[in-house]
Amino acid sequence: MKFEFTTADRILFGPGTLSQVASAAAEMGERVLLVVGRDTRRAASLVEDLESRGITVSMFSVHGEPTTETAAAGLEIARNSLSTLVIGMGGGAVIDAGKVIAALLTNTEDMMTYLEVIGEGKPIQVRPAPYIAVPTTAGTGAEVTRNAVLGSPEHRVKVSMRSPLMLPRLAVVDPELTCSLTPEITASTGLDALTQLLEAFVSCEANPLTDGICREGLVRAGRSLPRAFRNGDDAEAREEMCLASLFGGLALANAKLGAVHGLAAPLGGMYSAPHGVVCARLLPHVMAANVEALRREGDAAGAARFDEAARLLTGNPSARAEEGVAWVEALCRELNVVPLSTFGILPEAFPELISKSRRASSMKGNPVVLTEYELTRILERAVVPS
């Protein structure tokens, strides 16, 4: 057996760890681009800490999911301000935008040179500017992944820039930053974390190290996501979901994902639908299709992975894959996840969605190759659930 495992240079986890960011930043640079979300006030204490150490701060705000244009705009600000360090403080969208900006500060070819699917997909050659990732949601695990996802409105698809060099120098995961999340965002981001853990666990590129991480994460997500949704002040549930998100990022960076994210990439590029909602609605149907295909092909070990995932999520030591599917569907109902038809997705778009999904990197990690018919049935059931 051979496998590789890489992650951020350093990870700090725990309540109050935000206070350690400025001292770490002072060792990396004197001029920082701070990439934040729509509400810049959330970063006020960090800005104050940075400036107290003599660091010059320029800010760039990301509104919504980042696009190629978003990253280009942030890069321009970073270059004009002579920034040598980038900090991303926000959700996965913010952290991904910051990764791209940090990479392009030192790799000066056009962005399309490095983007997959719509560009040349060439590897970056020079280590990016130092990057510190500070997540404020518990979902993507982007603080420990080696890629960044950008939307391309022109191509109506989401694509990645990917390299082990893009792993942050420092990831700071402070669960206290997630306590103000609304139930809706808690549900959407948490379901993304759960999906990533499950897909990495059943991936054709899973390994013993990612297996252990996924097992821990699935148990924590299964018991804590409903609690965090119902009570945002539940500190224990928030901490567990931050761990689940972190573990999901560690796993996907080293074991790939699957058909859920393979379909979510074009869906997110073609429609204004929250990524976590898309993943949640696709997940039970992809699970069911994978189990059926694996059993049909006689892959007992592959199918057994889904049985184990069901036991981890439900806490039932005798659960089978079908009970795991039912559990995910029940969780979507409990968390008020809307059907994909809400976002105007129509059956006429299915052929284009499936065609684009085949080119997505995530699809390569699926434990079995799904047919066009199977992918169509998944979309039909996710768009208008029975």
What range does the domain containing 354 cover?
183-383
Identify whether 159 is part of a domain.
yes
Q: Are residues 124 and 233 in the same domain?
A: no
Q: Which of these three, 177, 198, 220, is where a domain ends?
A: 177
For residue 134, list its beta bridge partners: 89
Instruction: List, run by run, the mean pLDDT of 10-residue segments along the chain (386 residues).
Output: 88 97 96 94 94 96 92 96 97 96 95 92 94 96 94 86 95 96 95 97 96 97 97 96 98 95 91 90 96 96 96 96 96 93 90 91 94 95 79
Amino acid 385: pLDDT: 67
Domain CATH number, residue 113? 3.40.50.1970
Identify whether 3 is part of a domain.
no
Q: Are residues 352 and 214 in the same domain?
A: yes
Q: Are residues 163 and 192 in the same domain?
A: no
Q: Which of these three, 142, 177, 212, is where a domain ends?
A: 177
Amino acid 117: pLDDT: 87
Q: Are residues 282 and 305 in the same domain?
A: yes
Q: Are residues 324 and 379 in the same domain?
A: yes
Identify whether 2 is part of a domain.
no
Number of structural domains the chain divides into: 2
Is the separation of the CB atoms in 243 and 193 below 8 Å?
A: no
Do β-strands 10-13 and 170-173 pair in parallel, antiparallel, or remain unpaired? parallel
Q: Are residues 250 and 362 in the same domain?
A: yes
Q: Identify the CA nearest to 363 among candidates 199, 221, 220, 227.
A: 199
Indicate the length of the chain as a whole number. Answer: 386
Q: 3-class DSSP state for residue 135?
A: strand
Q: Where are the alpha helices (DSSP H) in 315-364?
A: 321-334, 350-358
Please tell me the distance from the alpha carbon of residue 155 to that of residue 297, in angstroms, as a whole number. Answer: 36
Q: Are residues 247 and 361 in the same domain?
A: yes
**What tokens appear for 90 in the block?**
């926000």
Identify whether 34 is part of a domain.
yes
Q: Are residues 159 and 42 in the same domain?
A: yes
**What tokens appear for 299 in the block?**
């892959």
Q: What share of the chain is helix, strand, coil (3-state, %, to 5)?
A: 60, 10, 30
Q: Are residues 70 and 189 in the same domain?
A: no
For residue 90, list its beta bridge partners: 135
Give the Å distances, CA to CA, from 241 to 42, 234, 300.
20, 11, 31
Q: Which of these three, 177, 201, 224, is where a domain ends?
A: 177
Is the separation of the CB atoms in 145 and 197 below 8 Å?
A: no
Amino acid 361: pLDDT: 86
Please tell me the distance from the alpha carbon of residue 320 to that of residue 305, in angstroms, as a whole number. Answer: 10
Amino acid 39: pLDDT: 87
Q: 3-class DSSP state for residue 180?
A: coil
Q: Are residues 304 and 270 in the same domain?
A: yes
Identify whether 140 is part of a domain.
yes
Helix (H) or strand (E) holding 10: strand 10-13
- pLDDT tens digits along 336-345: 999 898 999 8
Domain CATH number, residue 360? 1.20.1090.10
Q: Are residues 145 and 27 in the same domain?
A: yes
Is the separation of the CB atoms in 265 and 360 below 8 Å?
A: yes
Mean per-residue pLDDT of the chain: 94
Amino acid 386: pLDDT: 60
Q: Are residues 202 and 115 in the same domain?
A: no
Amino acid 286: pLDDT: 97
